[in-house]
Structure 1
């Protein structure tokens, strides 16, 4: 391809670095299916070029859309000539985009959950939920604060704990309202 577009290549190379990659899928003429080959060489001997001219290669198959799916993360632009439109790769792209959006949404929701201010009470004599378990919840649940009281498995009602909870709620709700 580099030789075939020599005139345009010379002008383009004044501004851009060009790479000419062979498509990775060979079209089998008899059956009409494709098989994968590994060939990304940009310089070839005469024998290789002649062999290349006899083979027909393609970038698109029903299984993958190559650049669109991120197989070449450094590619910043694509120019094609004589490339057919096929619905299958775009269907795959759409499914992958939907899956990615769903994963991003789940991650966003998880991150939002971690950013919600949390106040955890843990009792020193709690035989049902050990303090270490509540500490782990505080660490992994994100943005948590733990207050350890001298009682067991209960919600503390002493004025000092109630006041800490009121202060926590006031600060948290003010912060949430300002967003």
Structure 2
């Protein structure tokens, strides 16, 4: 295939959703000494794992707007449901060089009860950093402007642990788009 044809295919993949996910390569992820056959990742920043595609947004937004904007592109603001999925999302954060991103967990309904992925019950899987969630706003020093949204961290010595933060603060977000069914993990 000539270079011009290859460039045309790559250019087309940017604009035709059916081709968007076709360009990818495999990788292995190691986190905490455990190896996982991860996913495929493509040239456009999407990473595939277990029937879904993941990507970090490029524009930081507050938590409510990050959630709305993910729905507009056909995906959802995601939160890990397992250690393996947490590792996949952390790997994505490492690939793009981010220190944190927001995930789909909040305690809007009840400050003592966190909900993830829009479920009505507490999540079966969490990965809170030590002493988190604290519901304490370290920037203002009070609990009135509490930390009601969650983020994944790659700073302060944390490697994928979660922290609560004020929802009005801006972060990039992780978008999840399921296109191949449900993972049977």
Shorter-chain TM range is under 0.3
TM-score, reference length from structure 2: 0.22
TM-score, reference length from structure 1: 0.22
Q: Which has the higher contact order (CA 8 A, sep 6+)?
A: 2
Q: Which has the higher strand share?
A: 2
Q: Which has the higher helix share?
A: 1
